[in-house]
Amino acid sequence: MATKPDAGNRPNPSMPQNQKQESRQRIIAIAAVIILVLLAVNAFLLINYLKKGKENTQLVAQVDETEQLRAELEKQYYQAMSDLEEQRGRNEELNALIDQQKEELKAQKERIEGMLGDRNRLNEARQEIKKLNAQVEQYLAEINQLRAENQELTATNRQLQETKVQLESSLADQQQVNEELSAARENLLSEKKSLEQTKEELSKKVTKASVIKVVNIEAEGQKVRKNGKTSSRRSAKNVEQVQVCFQTMVNEVVEPGLEQFLIRIIAPNGETMAQEQLGSGVFFNRKNGQQMRFTQMAQHDYNREKKELCIVWSPNRPFPEGNYEVAVYNKGYLAGLATFTLR
């Protein structure tokens, strides 16, 4: 069966030749524009594709670098933690320093991790990781220095301890020697005290044995006449002075020399009559160990012979009535005693 030709595709035999030519050119122009547009679109898509690919490549490279830096950071951090932990020991000061250093490293690691989260700070993070390694080396150097100082200090302490033990031993020995010396000293002091007591007793005995006794003690009240002579009086109101005379006895024990005799005139009221400007004073009574006043002193060059001595007590004041006592002392001991009365 024969196909009929399409009426729309067939040239119109009635269309002029010029119109056909213009129609063909118009179609060619439209096709060229469409082709140019398509080429431009394809070029734009190609350029955009290439740009995205480059960006993706850079992004992949940055991600790879970030992960590499993160892995390096983790490696150095945990290696540093391990190195620091290996330095731990029994020294509390050293352990405290290690704990402090670990805290500082942890804070620095967290700060670097914050940098790794920002693509613009990768170079800064890389430098900080290098610093981290240097910081760990510095930490280890500080630990070694502290350990060396501690070892030196320990050696010094050990030496001091040994010296202390030696000193304590020497001190114990010295204390023992001191105790022995103290005991010996106490014995010597006891012996010395005993000897001193014996010496004192002997001295007392010798002194007492060397006392020159006096006898014939006579005391009388006197009145001084206008011509200077004196007369004996027994009435107190007429007495201006008292004269005391006594005689020394011979004592062969006493060596020749100056001897002193202290005379006490004791008034009826029991007080010793005394005035310093008239020669009165104080002496030590060897018998009772007390200080006593004396009225006047008489002295002479003793030559183991009897001698009469006299004193005159003229106090320039009235003598009260009553009984008086006269006591004569030699070398602190009583040598003689007598009484007299003024009415």
> In angstroms, rounded to a whole number, what is the distance separating the alpha carbons of residues 80 and 105?
8
Structural domains present in the chain: 23-178 (no CATH), 211-342 (2.60.40.3880)
Q: How far, in Å, CA of 288 to CA of 204, rounded?
A: 12
Q: What is the pLDDT along the chain (343 residues), one digit of tens a residue?
A: 444 444 444 445 555 677 777 777 788 878 778 887 777 776 676 666 556 555 444 444 456 778 887 887 788 788 877 888 788 877 888 788 888 887 887 888 788 877 777 777 777 777 877 777 787 788 788 788 877 887 788 888 888 888 888 888 888 888 888 888 888 888 878 878 877 777 766 666 677 889 999 999 999 999 999 888 999 999 999 999 999 999 999 999 899 999 999 999 999 999 999 999 999 999 999 988 899 999 999 999 999 999 999 999 999 999 999 999 999 999 999 999 999 999 9
Q: Which of 196, 290, 205, 312 is nearest to 253 (CA)?
A: 205
Sign of the Cα torsion 248, 252, 256, 262 reads negative
Q: What is the pLDDT of residues 54-92, one digit of tens each?
A: 544 444 445 677 888 788 778 878 887 788 878 887 788
Complete DSSP assignment for 304-325:
SS-EEEEEEE--SSPPPSEEEE
Q: Among residues 310, 296, 293, which one has the least CA distance to residue 248?
A: 310
From 286, 245, 305, 292, select the one nearest 266 (Cα to Cα): 292
The dihedral of CA 79, 84, 90, 96: what is its sign?
negative
Q: How far apart are the first and last CA of the chain?
A: 213
What's residue 41's pLDDT? 72
Largest CA distance in the chain: 221
Q: Is the pTM of this model over 0.75?
A: no
Residue 100 CB-density burial (10 A; 0-12 exposed, 13-18 middle, 19+ buried): exposed
